[in-house]
A = this chain, B = another copy of it.
Amino acid sequence: MKKAVTYDLINKDANTGARRGVMHTPHGDVQTPVFMPVGTQATVKAMKPEDVAALGHEGAQIILANTYHLYLRPGHELVRRAGGLHKFMNWDRAILTDSGGFQVFSLGDLRKITEEGVSFRSYIDGSKHMFTPESSMEVQNALGADIIMAFDECAPPDADYDYIAKSQARTSRWLRRCADAHKRPEDQALFGIMQGGFFKDLRQQSADTIVDLDLPGYAIGGISVGEPKEKYVGVLDYAVDMLPADRPRYVMGIGTPDYILEAVERGVDMFDCVEPTRLARHGMAMTSHGRLNIDNAKYFDDFTPIDPECDCYCCRNYSRAYARHLFHQKNPEILGSMLLAEHNLYFLVRLAENIRKAIEEDRFAEFKKEFLDKYGC
């Protein structure tokens, strides 16, 4: 059977685990390592899709949308009737949808986990819902993204060995149910998610089961949000190599340059994060010298660009003084969010481009050091 997404390795960096590859999807090729802008509700916040496609020098080739949000509003059936997510949101390049798992687990007391799945209440109207591996596939099949994610349990990072062991085993059973329920394998690639917390043997157990299913790609789950860098890197040190080298590898929810670079160094290919657009709406810019709060009084009459080393639309055409003016209002001007969203996403898309070039030239380690020295991490 034709696979929806295939991966070709282009080259490995001579001195690190970093690798340069390409994913072939039904909506075009995606050069890796890649940073994927997030369009939670079928819109990358404050940006037109054409401007997303023009980010960096090569353009963003894939974005992410959220199953949980689109399931609740406007509903996956509406999106299916609209002709799928690509058509609905006017984006003809690749899309990845998450499983909805992370969002429902984040609901805390509002959700309940059983072997069947997770029941939860809608934040919109309090109505009862249930996500199962089967329903997550049904929703993602209707949305129609090029890459869809397995429905996994995102266990609490501080859970003990026994909890993680049971949770990881259930996630593997759920993955098999996902694979069985997935109706459009020729159009949509199902990626598995490895769990196992911070326990190497559980990560190995998880990897063994999910790799057995011979899926077109794999993610490393459970290390994304708020973990100290040592613990994050500690898992990557052994977990990446448990996954097959001929498939793309994905760490979800990562958008800080140092976390991206550590993962790339160990052979991870894909990243996404809402932070660039969220920071933008709060007037925070990501720059080659670290973060900058544009509403700071010192930028009142600063007529230099937000990042003098950046060649994005915002930095080519506007000053810090103008950007600060847009934010320094009782109701900040929408253009401020637009400019900073484009700038921040450009920054990360461009970072991935520069990472790819460095790997092609076997100088990833030097690139990483130079970048982080300047960035201040």
**At the interface, yes or no: A335 with Cβ under 8 Å from chain B?**
yes
Q: CB distance A48 to B329 under 8 Å?
A: no
295-326 of chain A: CB within 8 A of chain B: 300-301, 303, 313, 317-319, 321-322, 324-326
- How many residues of chain A get a CB closer than 8 Å to chain B's CBs? 37
Contacts of A89 in B (CB 8 A): 322
**At the interface, yes or no: A47 with Cβ under 8 Å from chain B?**
yes
Cβ 8 A contact of A325, one of B41, B46, B90, B300: B41
Q: CB distance A335 to B74 under 8 Å?
A: no
**At the interface, yes or no: A81 with Cβ under 8 Å from chain B?**
yes
Contacts of A303 in B (CB 8 A): 81-83
Dominant secondary structure of chain A at its interface with chain B: loop
Q: CB distance B46 to A321 under 8 Å?
A: no
**At the interface, yes or no: A231 with Cβ under 8 Å from chain B?**
no
Contact indicator per residue, chain A 36-66, by CB within 8 Å of chain B (1) or not (0): 0000011101111000000000000000000
**At the interface, yes or no: A159 with Cβ under 8 Å from chain B?**
no
Chain B's closest residue to A322 (CB) is: B88
Contacts of A334 in B (CB 8 A): 43, 45-46, 334, 337-338
CB of A189, distance to nearest CB on chain B (Å): 25
CB of A82, distance to nearest CB on chain B (Å): 6
Contacts of A338 in B (CB 8 A): 46, 48, 334, 338
Once the chains are docked, how many angstroms separate the CA of A83 from the CA of B322? 12
Cβ 8 A contact of A329, one of B73, B313, B325, B333: B73
CB of A120, distance to nearest CB on chain B (Å): 17
**At the interface, yes or no: A328 with Cβ under 8 Å from chain B?**
yes
Q: CB distance A82 to B319 under 8 Å?
A: yes
Chain B's closest residue to A342 (CB) is: B48
Contacts of A317 in B (CB 8 A): 90
**At the interface, yes or no: A78 with Cβ under 8 Å from chain B?**
yes
Once the chains are docked, how many angstroms separate the CA of A59 from the CA of B367? 44
Once the chains are docked, how many angstroms separate the CA of A46 from the CA of B338? 8
Cβ 8 A contact of A81, one of B301, B324, B326: B301
A→B interface (CB under 8 Å): 41-43, 45-48, 73-74, 78, 81-83, 88-90, 124, 300-301, 303, 313, 317-319, 321-322, 324-326, 328-330, 333-335, 337-338
> Can you list 29 A-B pairs, Cβ within 8 angstroms, ordered by A?
A41-B333, A42-B322, A42-B325, A43-B326, A43-B334, A45-B333, A45-B334, A45-B335, A46-B334, A46-B335, A47-B335, A48-B335, A73-B325, A73-B328, A73-B329, A74-B300, A74-B321, A74-B324, A78-B321, A78-B325, A81-B301, A82-B322, A88-B319, A88-B325, A89-B322, A90-B318, A124-B330, A334-B334, A334-B337
User: Which 6 residue pairs spanning A and B have beta carbons closest together?
Assistant: A46-B334, A43-B335, A74-B325, A90-B317, A43-B333, A88-B322
Sample of 20 more A-B contacts, CB < 8 Å, known A41-B329, A334-B337? A41-B325, A41-B333, A43-B333, A43-B334, A45-B334, A45-B335, A47-B335, A73-B325, A73-B328, A74-B300, A78-B300, A78-B301, A78-B325, A82-B321, A82-B322, A83-B303, A88-B322, A89-B322, A90-B317, A124-B330
